[in-house]
Amino acid sequence: MTTKPLLKVEGLKKYFPIKKGILGRTVGYVKAVDDVSFYVNEGETLGIVGESGCGKSTTGRMLMRLLEPTEGKVEFDGKDLTSLSTEEMRKTRRDIQMVFQDPYASLNPRHTIEKILEEPLIVHGLDNSKERKKKVREFLEIVGLSAYHAKRYPHQFSGGQRQRIGIARALMTNPKLIIADEPVSALDVSIQSQVLNLMQDLQKEFNLTYIFIAHDLGVVRHISDRVGVMYLGKMVEMADSEQLYLKALHPYTQALLSAVPVPDPDFKKEQILLEGDIPNPANPPSGCTFHTRCPHKMEICTKVTPRLTEHDSGHSVACHLYSEQVDNDIKQLEGSI
Ligand code: SF4
């Protein structure tokens, strides 16, 4: 694996306007993604985790510009994607593909698998008809299906097989980056590990870079080199996968980790139960947005937003418990009272 960043994201924001009245006046914003920055090195897997509504899927969609960012920069392979024209972005999508959570919903039920897999090649003007059909059969076998499946329809496959088809479709254009949005969440646990193993094998074979989005830290651990944890539109912790699992710093990550089952019946783990629900992103709490649920809340937490700062090498956290800036933050707080 190289350490060259393939993707760099800086200050990414997505604010959805809240409209009211017959004139549709904007009365506020839902800050679905609020100032998120990260990078992904070539050949690595970055996991992004958090509860539903934390902004992880919105982030994934903005990277492909399926949603336009409100602000921020997305640099892919040296190109600033946010400044590309629609046509240039369409061409770039050959190198960035997506795998979705629900393979059935993302596969056209009226098309044969052959037609579904050929489509990305046709869209990007790649190969002639004979070459495309040959490639479809090759890729079906690469993902563990058979060439004869090409003539079947999506409903003739199980959930796990359909996700293999979704993965094959993403691979057809020979992409560099695959954004997998909850790719195994809809599958039985027994099938999940088969699909994860397949994704890992394909990563080695095709030198792929993955962004793996999930709500389950247990699943993300299996596949990620590094993990970013999101809460209410912000990245609150980011670290190497092992480091995060051994020594999570942010109270939210600690709570998520305490809920991951351990495959040892004698190992007793204390689960940290978070109080309350995830707050309304249209009206997020002041200061640290996690303060309404945090068991370690301090006075400063309700007033000053903690910044994501490096605590150990490669391990960043946004929490006043670790902030070397905390003295400055307290002065800033005292100044504001
Ligand atoms: Fe908890 Fe305060 Fe840290 Fe937020 S900043 S996670 S409220 S201790």
**Protein residue closest via CA to atom 5 of ligand 1:** 319
- Residues with a CB atom less than 6 Å from ligand 1: 250-251, 288, 290-291, 294, 296-298, 301, 306, 319-321
Identify the burial level of 49 via C-beta atoms within 10 angstroms of its C-beta, where 0-12 means exposed, 13-18 middle and 19 or more buried: buried
- Phi, psi for residue 8 in degrees, rounded to 5: -130, 130
Q: What is the pLDDT of residues 95-129, one digit of tens each?
A: 999 998 877 788 899 999 999 999 999 999 998 99
pLDDT at residue 263 in the model:
66
- Cα 251 to averaged position of ligand 1 atoms, centre (Å): 7
Amino acid at 159: G
pLDDT digits (tens, 9 = 90+) for 65-92: 999 999 999 999 999 999 999 999 999 9
pTM listed for this prediction: 0.91
Q: How far is the CA of 93 from the centre of ligand 1 (A)?
A: 38
For the stretch 147-191, pLDDT in tens is: 999 999 999 999 999 999 999 999 999 999 999 999 998 888 889
What residue's CA is closest to ligand 1, atom 6? 319
Domains of the chain, start order? 5-95+173-336 (3.40.50.300)
Identify which of 296, 304, 316, 326 to mutate to test ligand 1's pocket (most ligand atoms within 8 A of the CB).
Answer: 296
Separation of 296 CA from ligand 1 center, angstroms?
A: 6
Q: Which atom of ligand 1 is nearest to the CA of 252?
A: 6
Atom of ligand 1 nearest to the CA of 306: 5
Supply the pLDDT for residue 195.
Answer: 93
List CB contacts of 25: < 8 A, sequence separation 6 or more: 19
